[in-house]
Structure 1
Amino acid sequence: MTLADETRTAVDEAAAAIAAGEAVVYPTETVYGLGADATDAAAVDRVFEIKDRPRDKPLSVAFADRDHARQYTNPTDRELAFMTEFLPGPVTVVVDRDPTLPDNLTDGRPKVGVRIADNEVALALSQAAGPITATSANRSGEPSVRLPTDLSESVTDAVGAIIDAGRTPGTESTVVDVEANEIIRRGALVEEIEDWLADH
């Protein structure tokens, strides 16, 4: 993928911050996300602390593509078919996680949310930094962030980098447990997802 030089530099700087154990703010096709190394328990802890998020609310993980996701998760055939249909896109798919992802990511639960954003900056960062946490870059209980200037001061001060790509569309991803035929959170593309679940 071809990014503008300025954006590529920002992605490289954010990837370096993630490699150093820090969290970063990055754009997606929904809202701004808070990304850290999803394979590093200490980095995952940092994300919970920055967001002041309850530990029993799992974090999802952003990947560069479906093959990347399959290195760290174990989707069923039906989940793979769903992922082929809707990812990349504003959808989070809950699937079985591999032990390479730390327990604190999901509060010890066996499943994790898979996110493959339909946003070239988010994909470039996932490609450069490996699996990263995919959670909105707001403190828990506060509105999601569509512009970096709307970030809480505490979040801005706590992260190692912010990739500013202007305003994001704003509709949060729909979270789906395909095997349970359950929509956990309604968001983008929810009607198309409901139709797919009914037809498959």
Structure 2
Amino acid sequence: MAARVIDIAKDEGLAVRTACELLSEGLPVAIPTETVYGLAADATNPAAVARIYETKGRPRFNPLICHVADLEMAERYGVFDPLTRKLAEAFWPGPLTLVVPLKAGCGIHPLATAGLDTVGLRVPRGFAAAVIRAFDRPLAAPSANTSGRISPTSAKHVAQDLGDKLSLILDGGASLVGVESTILRVEGDRLRLLRPGGVAAEDIEHLTGLRLERQDGPAPAIEAPGMLASHYAPSAAVRLDATDAQPGEALIRFGGRPTAGTETAAAVFDLSPGGDLAEAAMNLFDTLKRADAVGATRIAVAPVPDHGLGEAINDRLARAAAPRDN
């Protein structure tokens, strides 16, 4: 049976009540956030968390971000040092996840943290926070898509992928950021970037005066979501840094730059004709889905600048292009 879809703009109260009813029953609900649509369930309920993994086909060694309503709620579940709190106060609500030590006896189930002694916490903007506040428990909420595939930035994307596995999809329109949150971990006077995302590294470095440390090569262990080498993948193979389009390829450009071979490409898209990285991030996953729907066996992607939100865009593209097990 197809999922029920509620348009938040038409009846936000109904959307919140219905979501809380299903969450209380241990069922996952697709909810919009400013980053991407999330598959949300009660992070304190092991059966509910297990349903997230089952619905997505997600490996259980890959931890889940737990979403909370505000910093006060976050401190019920995680231990915040002064620098981590400064980051939270500056960037929450918003697309920043902070990996912090779990508070003893906090109630978040080990399934949500993949058995780690840390937890990734985030305060989303807008409607999702209203649901969390009404539910009064943290929501584990990875992206609402089949594991490893393109993240959803609209209710339509969720319905096309998981619609027959869910009871409810809340429609809040297109996600405004369009890529997942930046994930940080503070370790003493070190600030580690576990995943680039919706908050630019330059903004974090400006606030803290610290240089972000990045992983050089494959991560030795999975500490946070989005660290798997292959992720965000369309069905078609992805070719990066393309300076031309081969016959039959779908082409994704950036900045309206002319690209050789467009006349024989299966389709041509542009993440941002004006070269705006925020617009490109917002359009990334939807454009990958549209290019994949053309039916080409390969998608060629032109270079995207690597500064600001370009770092997150290029991270997602590199994982989309990585070799796959399936």
TM-score (norm 1): 0.92
Instruction: Provide Cα deviations, 1:86-135, integer angstroms capped at 9, x if missing partner.
Output: 111111110111331111111211111101012x2101111112211121
Q: Could you say what secondary structure the match of 1:25 adopts?
A: strand
Any gaps of 5 or more consecutive residues in structure 2? 1-7, 212-326
Measured in 2, the distance between the counterparts of 1:157 and 1:69 equals 33
Q: CA deviation at 1:5?
A: 6.2
**Does the 8 A contact of 2:56 with 2:147 survive in 1?**
yes
Q: Tell me if 1:83 matches 2:109.
A: no
Residue 199 of structure 1: how far off its partner (Å):
4.2
Tell me, yes or no, if the aligned pair for 1:37 and 1:43 is still in contact at 8 Å: yes
Question: Which structure has more RCO (C-alpha within 8 Å, separation ≥ 6)?
Answer: 1
| Max Rg structure | 2
Mapping for residues 22-171 of structure 1, pairs under 5 Å = 22-98=27-103, 99=105, 100-118=107-125, 120-129=126-135, 130-151=137-158, 153=160, 155-169=162-176, 170-171=178-179
Q: Give the unaligned 5+ runs of structure 1.
A: none
Q: What code does the residue aligned with 2:198 have?
A: A
User: How many residue pairs were aligned?
Assistant: 197
In structure 2, do the counterparts of structure 1 residues 37 and 165 end up closer, same or farther at CA, with 3 Å as the change threshold? Answer: same
Give the match's secondary structure for 2:100. strand
Q: Paired residue for 2:191?
A: 181
Identity %: 36
Task: State the Cα RMSD in Å.
Answer: 1.8
Query: 1 CA distance for matches of 2:199 and 2:161?
Result: 32
Residues 181 and 197 in structure 1, CA contact (< 8 A), matched pair in contact too: no
Equivalent residue of 2:163, what SS? helix
> Is 1:50–1:154's contact at 8 Å kept on the other side of the alignment?
no
What TM-score does the superposition give when structure 2 sets the normalisation length?
A: 0.57
